[in-house]
Amino acid sequence: MASQIADSTSQKPRTRQKVRIVGKIRPFTDSEIDSSQGLPAARIVVQKLDSSDHVALLVGDQTSSQKEPYKFDYCYEQDEDTEKIYSQEVKPLISEIFQGSNVAVLAYGACASGKTHIIQGSNGKPGLASLALAEILSKGKKIGSSVLVSFYEIYQDRIYDLLKPKQEVFVLENNGGKIQLRGLSQVPVNSLSDFNILYSGEHNQQKAAEKHLNDTRHRTHKGLTIQISGANNDSKITALGKMMLIDLAGYEDTKRMPNSNPYLAESTKFNNKSLYALQNVIYALNAKEKRVPFREAKLTRILQDSMEGNNKTLMITCVNPTLGPDTIHSISVSSRLCQATKANRTSTVEGSHTLSAKKTPRAKFLLVDKKTNYAPSAEKGGRKLFGTANHTPKCTRKQETPSVASSEPVQETTSTVPSCDQMQKKCFAISNKVALEHVPEKEECSLHISLPLDTSMTAEVNQNSLQEEITFSSSKAIESLTPQLEYILPLAHHVDSKNIGGPPKLSDVSPGFVVSNENKYSPFSRPSPPISARLREITNTLKSLSSTPVPLCVKTPIAGNICYSQVSREPIEPSTPSITLNLDAEDATAATPREVYETRSCGLKKSMVKEYLKYLNTASKEELKSLNGVGEKRANYILELREESPEPFKELDDLKEVGLSAKQVNRMMRKAAEALFI
């Protein structure tokens, strides 16, 4: 092939991306040469871009009129063989796995672009798998570690063990977030010949040269995992790093496929969906996005622990020199992944690659398959309505999250309203004081206050610091703590309203009187009520903020020095913590009704989100289907996720895993909130 290497341009070297993307142009095959009656004309040119290895691929007419070429980290040309790719790209990664890192090597491209040849080898030439394994075995022997291999394929988004026929493999996430493949066999390998027997054994796929184009079984993703194990002092096997090599299924535009084989079209659709998912992951990693959508497909789930963190990934985009539309698509996608940044997430998708931009619709680059319920990306940079449930709440108006009832953008304003953080600190300060001080017995009385379910404050304070009693030693102390009490007392309303009809007022709190809550709730003592009921409770509390509190504190005379109350209350789910206050606190700071309102609203939003996520993590299929935006398929997928991980939804962002966009989540939560006011 005639290729030109042009001199470097003025372009600066690009920042190193997380996923390295190189191209490999395969040589023309005999049949291609035969059909063109001689060596076909070169239609692809590799141009060096800068002093680093970065290159541009000029394809077809672009050689003469190219404005923006397809950029790659590097590209191997037709005459460069797999050994060269191995020594330049893969061998340097092997030392990393001996230091505990994981590495993924992916062969991506259109059908017949040379992916299997690169990974598995063909025509007597070894592929990357054998070359890497030989090196790993030799290194491993030197340090006394052993090598285990697994071999699997992903067919229609299901994983099968290729070393154990018909054995399905399940991706699970343990409590520590580690990915585990249940049912996948790991076979110890001591020599390259052992490996070759396994690799080309009867369970293995057909070799590249023997593939039948109409065979659906060869259109699968095929993965090989080489795991290194060491022995620690207790002789327990300890896993070091691993290398995953994946021969991805070829990308094919299903619209161009003949209708004759519906099974083939179906499996191709699955393959493409998982390829989109993979592209989304690579894009997110290279653009250093906060959220990487590993859960979109089994393929990406498997790769998660080899791609995230400091692990390294190499993607080799195989290029068929005949340059069909699928090859152009693969080149275009790879180039964009290579240049992924947060800023060009949307702007580059339309791209200026005239040739591909028209033929590669934006949706495909955004890698969202709208028909799929499990592979959506919906990365639209949408505003979060509620923020995330497990973040420290921020009540100042400098937040990005509008209120439940309003979808108006939140203005950034300066305000004296304290944040939830500040309020929490106040409460911590109060409770800490109690722990330190002994109140003179004669003057003491107790105020037991249970906070409503999961206010922002209780979530943080409950488990560690709060006591069951608030003890007042004198009227002076009550005065000094007035601002805090104004904040805390209304919180008792949630519990108290059932029996005493309203929150205690400040005037009820005085030495010699007790306001108490005798209930001892445990959040785990009984099943949670339906989410609608719980949300209604939250809303009631919110409503109470806008109404004048009714003085309904129960006062009981002091018996001796011990203050107690006989207020009977129904236990209410979930547990509401009690707090202990000391009125001698000297560092009391002001809390205005506005502060109270801001703080509580923030807590309510957080509570609502938390309850909603808890519901998604525990509800039955039918219950899930009753939610706005959840149908049969999505409910099934949620159940599937719950099988893989005990608590798949930890924050609102996780709902994107089931194909909900930020906008949909926003709508979902708003609907839930609205329902409470009907």
Residue stretches of the annotated binding site for ATP: 109-116
- Using left for φ > 0, alpha for ψ between -120 and 50, and beta otherwise, residue 484 falls in alpha
Count of positions (residues) in the chain: 678
DSSP secondary structure, 16-67, as one string: PPSEEEEEEEPPPPHHHHHHTTSSPPP-EEEEE-SSSS-EEEEETTHHHH-S
In the bound state with ligand ATP, the residue whose beta carbon lies nearer, of 74 and 386, is 74
Tell me which residue has its CB nearest to ligand ATP.
Answer: 250
Nearest distance in Å: CB 33, ligand ATP:
11
Q: Nearest distance from residue 59's CB to ligand ATP, in Å?
A: 18
**Residue ranges in 76-115 that form contacts with ligand ATP under rule CB under 6 A:** 109, 111-115
Q: Which of 246, 238, 149 is nearest to 198 (CA)?
A: 149
Q: Among residues 575, 616, 355, 330, which one has the least CA distance to residue 461?
A: 575
Separation in Å, CA 487 to CA 309, 469, 524, 545:
43, 16, 27, 11
- As measured in angstroms, the least distance from the Cβ of 304 to ligand ATP is 24
Give Cβ neighbours of residue 177 (< 8 Å, ≥ 6 apart). Answer: none
Choose among 611, 63, 525, 115: nearest CA to 319.
Answer: 115
* Nearest distance, CB of residue 209 and ligand ATP, angstroms: 5
Q: Which DSSP letter does residue 478 get?
A: H
Q: Give 113 or 311: the residue with its C-beta nearer to ligand ATP.
A: 113
The residue behind tokens 């209708």 is 259
Please give the Cα distance from 617 to 610 (Å, whole number): 10
Of 109 and 511, nearer to ligand ATP (C-beta) is 109
Least Å from the CB of residue 279 to ligand ATP: 17
Q: Return the residue of 37, 99, 123, 548 that touches ligand ATP, per CB under 6 A.
A: 123
211/397 with CB nearer ligand ATP: 211
**Cα-flanking dihedrals φ and ψ of residue 312, to 5°?**
-115, 145
CB of 319 to ligand ATP, least distance (A): 10
Residue among 1 and 148 whose Cβ is closer to ligand ATP: 1
Calpha distance 141→135 (Å, rounded): 10
* Shorter beta-carbon distance to ligand ATP: residue 97 or 208: 208
Q: Which two tokens stand for residue 309?
A: 């963190």
The CB-of-183 to ligand ATP minimum distance in angstroms stands at: 25
Least Å distance, CB 225 to ligand ATP, is 19
Q: Which is nearer to ligand ATP, 328 or 583 (CB)?
A: 328
CA-CA distance, 104 to 225, in Å (whole number)? Answer: 9
Q: Which is nearer to ligand ATP, 127 or 659 (CB)?
A: 127
Q: How far is the CB of 250 from ligand ATP (least distance, A)?
A: 3
Going by the annotation, the residues of the binding site are 109-116
- Phi, psi dihedrals of residue 218, rounded to the nearest 5°: -85, -10
Candidate ranges 116-124, 302-310, 374-382, 430-438; the one touching ligand ATP (CB under 6 A): 116-124
Does 351 bind ligand ATP (CB under 6 A)? Our answer is: no
394 close to 602: Cβ distance less than 8 angstroms: yes
> Among residues 117 and 494, whose Cβ is nearest to ligand ATP?
117
Cβ nearer to ligand ATP, comparing 334 with 348: 334
Dihedral over Cα of 280, 285, 290, 291: its sign = positive
Site string for ligand ATP, 28-67 (x = CB under 6 A): -x--------------------------------------
Distance CA 70, CA 59 (A): 9
Q: Assess contact for 257 and 268: CB atoms under 8 A.
A: yes
Print the binding letters for residues 301-340 with ligand ATP: x by CB under 6 A, - otherwise: -----------------x----------------------
**Between residue 11 and residue 30, which ones bind ligand ATP under the rule CB under 6 A?**
26-27, 29
CB of 91 to ligand ATP, least distance (A): 18
What phi and psi, each to the nearest 5 degrees, are found at residue 484?
A: -65, -40
Site for ligand ATP in 181-210 (CB under 6 A): 208-209
Q: Compute the distance between CA of residue 352 and CA of residue 347 in angstroms, rounded to an integer.
A: 10
Number of residues binding to ligand ATP, judged by CB under 6 A = 19
Could you say which of 8, 52, 63, 122 contacts ligand ATP (CB under 6 A)? 122
Nearer to ligand ATP, 316 or 485 (CB): 316
Q: Measure the CA–CA gap between 132 and 94, rounded to whole angstroms.
A: 8
Taking a C-beta distance cutoff of 8 angstroms, is the pair 92, 300 a contact?
A: no
Q: 109 vs 351, which CB is nearer to ligand ATP?
A: 109
Q: Give me the least distance between CB of 109 and ligand ATP, in Å please.
A: 6
CA distance 20 to 246: 15
Cβ closest to ligand ATP, residue 120 vs residue 348: 120
CB of 253 to ligand ATP, least distance (A): 14
Between CA 621 and CA 632 the distance in angstroms is 8
CA angle 602, 606, 608 (to 5 degrees): 115
Single-letter amino acid code for the residue at 375: A
Among 116, 220, 267, 599, binds ligand ATP (CB under 6 A): 116
55 pairs with which residues across the strands?
48, 72
DSSP 543-584: HHHHSPPP--------BTTB----------SS---EE--BTT
Rounded to whole angstroms, the Cα distance separating 225 from 60 reads 37
Among 20, 54, 117, 614, binds ligand ATP (CB under 6 A): 117
Shortest Cβ distance from residue 614 to ligand ATP (Å)?
44
Residues 614 and 459: their CA atoms lie apart, in Å, by 14
Ranges within 245-304 binding ligand ATP (CB under 6 A): 250
Binding site for ligand ATP (CB under 6 A): 26-27, 29, 109, 111-117, 122-123, 208-209, 211, 218, 250, 318
